[in-house]
Structure 1
């Protein structure tokens, strides 16, 4: 029995430089920076003040009023991205799919930070009777999966994965596994937001956030001046679907196929063994049945710290050879969106397959020669691309890799 092919038939994006798939894509190609000074609260006394913040988003314009009291900002973003992806894929009450043939697999690493901390303040300053009853679930890592499945009547398999920056790609890999097991459609991806005071403090505590105040210099992946990343919020939701189901429904557009996926975990510090990112990339290519030479572009993790950047460059150099493939880190325009970062990169990778143009790594200009990277800088690059590798690393050792390929020609 042949293994069902898993294709992407819808994409929804909510990002600091663009709400909506096409707005996000145009912003990447135009190098429109979504990074700026954090304004959600007074951050003037914090050592880092640059963030990938989504401005001008009015929840009441997108979400039913009954959901507003029970949702964190991250869940609102997830609901909006899910709606866009479902509409594009033509999935609704009259699409011919039953409720149990549709599932939801999402990832968030931070949960409902803003919601839960607001309720904590009520608890401490006013008393427990003032705490929202929705606190029981609005903070939880599975809440986006739950809210999406309830709103859209998707009663098939539901899961939630947590792997920090790598978790979003893990969710997509698990969605493919779920489609292969017989579920026709699985909504998948990741969204995160933690730009409230406590969320900001927790991100700074990790010691990896840039303290540079210039929004064009704060996040410089693979640059000699790299000194940490900028936190961002948002992410992407995708519709993964059995290829046969998509053909049966007469789907107008298939963006590409999830051809390969792999995840690894780094060895213990001091073991002398190499990090696991290169192995994840190689395993994803093996899973896709592709040699390295077939990969037309790589969306790198881009930690923007000398050690991790060196390790990632070594992994890519070992797999593709020196300057063997165009490499890009478009999240330099949005900040690292935690579990939302990988899916947003994957959304962009699918649009690369559609438009045959690779977005640039904005702001990075001084790339060490010993990295051996063909980093796309100075504007987008037009080139033939039939397959793309997307990488993500989470703190404490998580590594994930996904390969997407162009749709088969009819």
Structure 2
């Protein structure tokens, strides 16, 4: 069976711009959650967000791209650039039809779309940018990355909210197994603008706390919703033999297993499919629960959803049977970017033998979880990453050391 390796990582996150800065902040428990600054959130019930700091797209991207891209696409393009550089990939030296791009998105370019719709309503159609035709679109990150790097192989986009990032990486692994040499994958999201804010608030799951240290508390008795954020991670996935042939000297790890299920309606008689997704991912990886060293949990911070996830973990591994962490307490939920950022954290946890913390949370004993509250040194070879999307999407992915 073809082994799919992660050879490059690019990160844009609320608690760090770039892989090294983000990982240092994450290990040390530094949060990027703060009052919204991208627009005036005064008067909105929710006023906190995880925003990517110190990001000036003109520093990283050619000027021709700036008028045609939304903020989240600029973040994605930079993350892809960094991931390819990290993998030491020269895309001009590889067959253009041997490289693909699969990203996830939950909202598309909302900020760009809001601005152009405001131009339409207030000034007329002649003031609407022609770039509106694609800048708002869910697939725009895939398209812009593929154009920028000449990647003309199999590509696509996945739209399953928070689960989407893992689903996209799973699709990328399928493409690698079918013969595509290299696939850029992951997810970067961002809709911190009035239009996007209203859409997110409609879920009823946003925290209204004004205290960044008390606003996002998964698996805590005080949990009252999540803080939204922007950013995510882009990964370079390669066939192990192809990576070796092009001279890749190392890899972060292997995408070893994946499972996806769909939940029933909340009042249905049958249970959540999350436990089944975990079982499928472990079986796909050919491992048993005892071989998992840490679980990166979804951490919805909604009581009913936390109970479901805690039960699935406890039933799989036993009560307090495996360390569990939720580093997204430092970034907020990044929607399609959340799963890939957790994958990046899992791969660096394997590299450095350290479990990043879950900050500010006092775990509710009823959940029977070994929730990691401070960075914990441990020998780590295999990680399970969980993600759940609004509407019932469940995804589970196993990553493990590549040697």
Partner residue in 1 for 2:131: 134
User: Whole-Å Cα distance in 1 between the matches of residues 105 and 19 of structure 2?
Assistant: 20
Residue deviations 1:376-395, cap 9 Å, x none? 00x20001111000000000
In structure 1, C-alpha distance between the alignment counterparts of 2:4 and 2:91, rounded to whole Å: 22
1:300 to 297, 302, 305: 297
Residue 367 of structure 2 corresponds to 371
Cα pair 2:16 2:53 within 8 Å, conserved:
no
Shift of 1:291: 0.3
- Find out whether 1:352 has 2:349 as its counterpart: yes
**3-state SS, counterpart of residue 399 of structure 2:** strand
In structure 2, the residue matched to 1:404 is 399
1:10 is matched with 8
Cα deviation for residue 93 of structure 1 reads 4.5
**TM-score normalised by length of structure 2:** 0.99
Number of residues of Structure 1 aligned to a counterpart in Structure 2: 403
SS at match of 1:154: coil
CA offset digits 1:215-259 (Å, max 9, x no partner): 000001111111100000000000000000111122122000000
Q: Which of 166, 169, 182 does residue 166 from structure 2 map onto?
A: 169
Deviation at 1:198, TM superposition (A): 1.0
Which runs of at least 4 in structure 1 moved beyond 3 Å after TM superposition? Answer: none
Distance 2:149 2:90 in 1: 8
Task: Give 1:23's aligned residue.
Answer: 21
Contact 2:298 2:388 in 1 (8 A): yes
Residues 177-196 of structure 1 mapped to structure 2, 5 A cutoff = 177-196=174-193
Does 2:387 match 1:392? yes
Q: Secondary structure at the match of 2:5?
A: strand
What are the within-5 Å matches in structure 2 for residues 235-384 of structure 1? 235-365=232-362, 367-377=363-373, 379-384=374-379
1:80 aligns with 2:81: no
Deviation at 1:122, TM superposition (A): 0.3
Give SS of 2:384's match: strand
CA distance in 1, matches of 2:281, 2:257: 5
Alignment partners' CA distance in 2, 1:124 and 1:108: 27
The secondary structure found in structure 2 opposite 1:257 is strand
Alpha-carbon distance in 1 for matches of 2:22, 2:250: 19
155, 159, 178: which one aligns with 1:158: 155
8 Å Cα contact 2:17-2:53 kept in structure 1: no
SS of 1:100's equivalent in the other structure is: helix
Matched with 2:231 is 234
1:224 counterpart residue number? 221
- Shift in CA distance, 43/244, structure 1 to aligned 2, threshold 3 Å: same
SS at match of 2:144: helix
Does the 8 Å CA contact 2:72/2:188 hold for their aligned counterparts? yes
Distance of 1:41 and 1:105 partners within structure 2? 30
Distance across 2 between alignment mates of 1:349 and 1:93: 26
Asked whether the equivalents of residues 11 and 232 of structure 2 are also in contact (C-alpha less than 8 Å), the reply is: yes
Q: So what's the TM-score if we normalise by structure 1?
A: 0.97
Partner of 1:66: 64
Q: Deviations over 1:104-162 (max 9, x none)?
A: 00001110000000000000000000000000000001110000000000110011000
Give distance in 2, aligned partners of 1:340 and 1:136: 23
* CA offset digits 1:245-290 (Å, max 9, x no partner): 1111221220000000111000233222111111101100000000
* Cα RMSD for the two superposed structures: 0.8
SS in structure 1 at match of 2:38: coil
Is the CA contact 2:330–2:359 (under 8 Å) kept in the aligned structure 1? yes
> Which stretches in structure 1 are left out of the alignment for 5+ residues?
none
Question: Aligned partners of 1:358, 1:65: CA distance in 2, in Å?
Answer: 40
- Identify the range of structure 1 (10-19 vs 96-105) with the bigger mean alpha-carbon deviation: 96-105
Secondary structure of the residue aligned to 1:235 is: strand
Gap regions ≥5 residues in structure 2: none
1:48 corresponds to 2:46: yes
